[in-house]
Structure 1
Amino acid sequence: MARTLGRYDSLVTFVESQTWLLPTLARLIFTGVLSLYFFNSGLTKLGDGFLGILAPSTGAYVQIFPRAFEAVGYDTDGLGLFHDLIVLGGTLAEFALPMLIIIGLFTRFAAIGMIGFVVLQSLTDVIGHGQTGVLGAWFDRFPDAAILDQRAFWVFVLLTLAVKGGGPLSLDRLIVARTR
């Protein structure tokens, strides 16, 4: 038994010393599982033309401010500068924050921004769009609820990046190495 525990302890010590593993896998999982989700969601918010990112579509307002947009008869002129800035910022964030995580630049900052984005997205889905049927519940036997279950895993991956950084294969690491 002592020999088995000794081997187990050696293995655990080795795995714990591999500080590159967790942040590298977290960025890989984010890239493979979530990046296209956010990019495609951002594409639905773009206005017409080359500078469509600076003039979001009416769909962006429907997605981000469903109740307020309905209240003004789906007329973007009925909303104020506050709404315009939030929609513009949200649209830009859906492109910029995932890209920063993918390349590993300002990874911690981008991951914290994405956590905030996911929380606001979830609140908008539940409160603004009334999607309580997909809310789910923790500690039930169903692990596939779109909001509480899935987004908890999203936040966990992002929290890993916020705590551990981008890992050795990141621009963060390259920049820090060059400045020393």
Structure 2
Amino acid sequence: MNALLSLYDRATDPLDRETVILPTLARFLFAAVLLVYFWHAAGTKTGDGLFGLLQPSMGAYAQIFPRQMEAAGFDTSQLGLWHWLVVVSGTLAEFVLPALVVLGLATRLAALAMIGFIAVQSLTDLYGHGGIEHAETLGAWFDRFPDGAILDQRALWVFLLLTLVLKGAGPLSLDRLLATRLRNAP
């Protein structure tokens, strides 16, 4: 039995030193699964034209502040500067943070910010949009259904991003390129 365990240890030992595959694959999977999701969601929040980001759509307010919009009769002029700042910064974050993760630029910080974004998004879905009242929206762990929007799907999203927070972007990233250039600069 000791020989078998020793053979197993020798065969798997290189995986302990692996630093290339995991962060690179995490960024690739983020791009493949979540990049377009977040960019599309951000796109639904912008107004028309070149400065559409600064003139959020009514849907942006309704997505981020559903109860306040309902109370205001879906009239965005009834909401204040604070609401506008939250909507604009949230929309900007939905464009910029995923791009930073995919490019591997300020990856640890961007991934950590994405985790915070997902937490706020989940709380808004549960409490702002009433998802907490629907068991299938929240989902449940340790059941046979892997498709609960909050506990199942978003837990996997966060785990993917947490991998980047802990491991960094990997060698195929702008983080690594910039670090190499700074080290080699005169």
TM alignment of 1:48-127, pairs within 5 A? 48-127=48-127
Residue by residue, what CA displacement relative to the aligned partner does 1:57-88 show, whole Å, maximum 9, x if unpaired?
01000000000111111111111111100000
Aligned length: 180
Separation in structure 2 between the aligned mates of residue 100 and residue 38 of structure 1, nearest angstrom: 13
Report percent identity of matched pairs: 59
Letter in 1 for 2:28: L
Aligned to 1:15: 15
1:144 aligns with 2:134: no
Residue by residue, what CA displacement relative to the aligned partner does 1:80-138 show, whole Å, maximum 9, x if unpaired?
11110000000001100000001000001110110001000000000000013210111
Letter in 2 for 1:166: A
Larger mean CA deviation between 17-26 and 109-118 belongs to 17-26
Q: CA RMSD in A?
A: 0.9
**Residue 2 of structure 1: how far off its partner (Å):** 3.0
**Residue 152 of structure 1: how far off its partner (Å):** 0.1
TM-score by length of 1: 0.97
Letter in 2 for 1:90: G
Residue by residue, what CA displacement relative to the aligned partner does 1:19-67 show, whole Å, maximum 9, x if unpaired?
1121111101101111110011011101011211121101000000000
Point out where structure 1 has 5 or more consecutive residues left out of the alignment. none
TM-score by length of 2: 0.94
